[in-house]
Amino acid sequence: MDQTGEEDGTGAGSAPRRTRIQQKNREAILEAALEVFSQHGFRGATVDQIAQAAGLSKPNLLYYFPSKEAIHIELLSTLLDTWLAPLRRLDPEGDPKAEILAYMHRKLEMSRTLPRESRLFANEMLQGAPRMKDMLEGDLKALAQDKAAVIARWSDEGKIAAVDPYHLIFAIWALTQHYADFEVQVRAILGPDHDPFSEADTFLTTLFNRLLAR
Amino acid sequence: MDQTGEEDGTGAGSAPRRTRIQQKNREAILEAALEVFSQHGFRGATVDQIAQAAGLSKPNLLYYFPSKEAIHIELLSTLLDTWLAPLRRLDPEGDPKAEILAYMHRKLEMSRTLPRESRLFANEMLQGAPRMKDMLEGDLKALAQDKAAVIARWSDEGKIAAVDPYHLIFAIWALTQHYADFEVQVRAILGPDHDPFSEADTFLTTLFNRLLAR
DNA sequence: TGTTTGTTTGACCACGCGGTCAGGATGAGG
DNA sequence: CCTCATCCTGACCGCGTGGTCAAACAAACA
């Protein structure tokens, strides 16, 4: 009766097989949860808030997800994929400087269009990544190592100036996510007549151009 | 050491006039609260946790502070001062590039030695700065405008390469605070045999040298 | 010493929270 | 129309939480 087919992460290839209503409501819940979690953090969010934002009653929401934590976990695991996509697209065969700049642009664009996801991620990191640590040391670490090696090669070959590839990646993360995570601060300082993201775009382009020029 | 004689929020100039015990316990509470709030966020922290960490009973803690929120607010308002100190020391009469690099170093050093403060601040920003917005638009904005003007002058005079002064400041904030706020992520990627902060120091030195060189 | 002021505590309360449950409404297929 | 699985809800529960209070305890000081 109450069993909503759950992939569970471990189960691997079992198809969820959901009805139209399930599909729609699960989406609404995840969307609402993203909104609420990213704004108040895990502990600060209540299931009632999420349910209301999703247009459901609390028991009805619990009909689709076994617990508040389950929603959070599902949100995080799907998030990591989207989050790493821009880095995955960094092409080892492309033009080095253009590739890195393009990656930075993709990342900045994500901060602009998906600030809630950025904040959700930041929240999790701040707490010490209690529910993501394994993912960090798995997919994330592997991908970072992979792409860092590419950048290191470019450095060695003299295609770009010498830089620590890991910290270059960190720099891109820090600089782009800052505009989403600390948006209040940025706007408080710049005032209402500025477009932080477009300004950031030109500033960061200059920054990385000068950093990588040889 | 650090003086904790703080205003009560209401009276502008009223002297607190505290006993030795009050002094000691208030300090212990604020220290404990910093630890707990920075780790779990405001909602995630409980008064019991803070009291225990401070070596007090819950009612006893509430004897020194009227509420959980009062502790949080006091923490935040004293924090902003420490947080802006490095920028305040940026000397308009000093050597431009050296001043900016020195500022970056002070900021990075703060991330290394005061990561809990950094995370507390980050948490507040992520939530949209509900209890700090006025401070942001007050002291912070004023200071940022002041120093941005200095940097802009340096740019105009050709002492450093042309940069947007505001986004240069944002970049320093983002790059340095990242190593405190996202420490788990950084360590997960670099592994245990690295010292993120010393590596960051040399990387950021290079970065800002290249950015500002003309 | 006794009295006043400052400090600490156990017991307690109201409430919001995550989660449950029995059963009612609403489909979709026959 | 009936049937059955899916969907939804009001009422409820236990617990953790922020905060209170009267009373016990400790200092200070005369």
Confidence of residue B15 (pLDDT cuts 50, 70, 90): low
Which of B167, B169, B195 would best serve as a mutation to test chain A binding (most A beta carbons within 10 A)? B167
A91 and A62 within one domain: no
Mean pLDDT of A139-166: 98
Q: Say which CATH number the domain at B31 has.
A: 1.10.10.60
Exposure b/e, A150-161, CB count within 10 A at least 16 = b: bbbebbeeeebe
ipTM of the prediction? 0.92
Looking at A45, A66, A87, the residue that finishes a domain is: A66
Q: What is the pLDDT of residue B165?
A: 98
Protein-to-nucleotide distance from the CA of B37 to the C1' of C11, whole angstroms: 28
Do the chains contact at A44 and B42, CB–CB below 8 Å? yes
B76 and B167 within one domain: yes
Number of domains in chain A: 2
* Strand C: positions under 7 A of a protein C-beta atom: 6-11, 16-22
Point out the nucleotide closest to B68 (alpha carbon to C1′): D18
Whole-angstrom CA distances from A191 to A91, A114, B125 are 38, 22, 16
Q: What is the pLDDT of residue A18?
A: 79
HSE, side-chain direction, 13 A CA sphere, residue B147? 24
Confidence of residue B24 (pLDDT cuts 50, 70, 90): very high
Check CB contact of A207 with chain B, cutoff 8 Å: yes
Answer yes or no: is A12 CB < 7 A from strand D: no
Mean pLDDT of A160-182: 98
B199 and B100 within one domain: yes
Q: DSSP letters of A120-182? A: HHHHHHHTT-TTTHHHIIIIIHHHHHHHHHHHHHHHHTTSS----HHHHHHHHHHHHHHHHHT
Is residue B14 in some structural domain? no
pLDDT digits (tens, 9 = 90+) for A16-26: 677 888 889 99
Residues in chain A with CB shorter than 8 Å from the CB of B188 are 129, 133, 136-137, 140-141
pLDDT digits (tens, 9 = 90+) for B155-167: 999 999 999 999 9
pLDDT digits (tens, 9 = 90+) for A70-128: 999 999 999 999 999 999 999 999 999 999 999 999 999 999 999 999 999 999 999 99
Is residue A4 in some structural domain? no
A123 and A41 within one domain: no
Is residue A114 in some structural domain? yes
A109 and A45 within one domain: no
Whole-angstrom CA distances from A180 to A118, A124, B54, B122, B190 are 7, 15, 35, 12, 25
pLDDT of residue B186 exceeding 80, the answer is yes
SS3 assignment for chain B: CCCCCCCCCCCCCCCCCCCHHHHHHHHHHHHHHHHHHHHHHHHHCCHHHHHHHHCCCHHHHHHHCCCHHHHHHHHHHHHHHHHHHHHHCCCCCCCHHHHHHHHHHHHHHHHHHCHHHHHHHHHHHHCCCCCCHHHHHHHHHHHHHHHHHHHHHHHHCCCCCCCCHHHHHHHHHHHHHHHHHCHHHHHHHHCCCCCHHHHHHHHHHHHHHHHHCC
Pairwise CA distance, residues B111 & B104, whole Å: 11
Do the chains contact at B43 and A40, CB–CB below 8 Å? yes
CB A104 within 8 A of CB A74: no
Confidence of residue A15 (pLDDT cuts 50, 70, 90): low
Q: Say which CATH number the domain at A170 has.
A: 1.10.357.10
CB A161 within 8 A of CB A212: yes
Check CB contact of B140 with chain A, cutoff 8 Å: yes
Question: Residue B188's closest chain A neighbor by CA?
Answer: A137
Structure token pair of residue B66: 């009227």
A54 and A77 within one domain: no
Structural domain for A31, as ranges: 20-66
Q: What is the pLDDT of residue A5?
A: 37
A187 and A145 within one domain: yes
Rounded to the nearest integer, the mean pLDDT of chain A is: 93
CB B110 within 8 A of CB B68: no
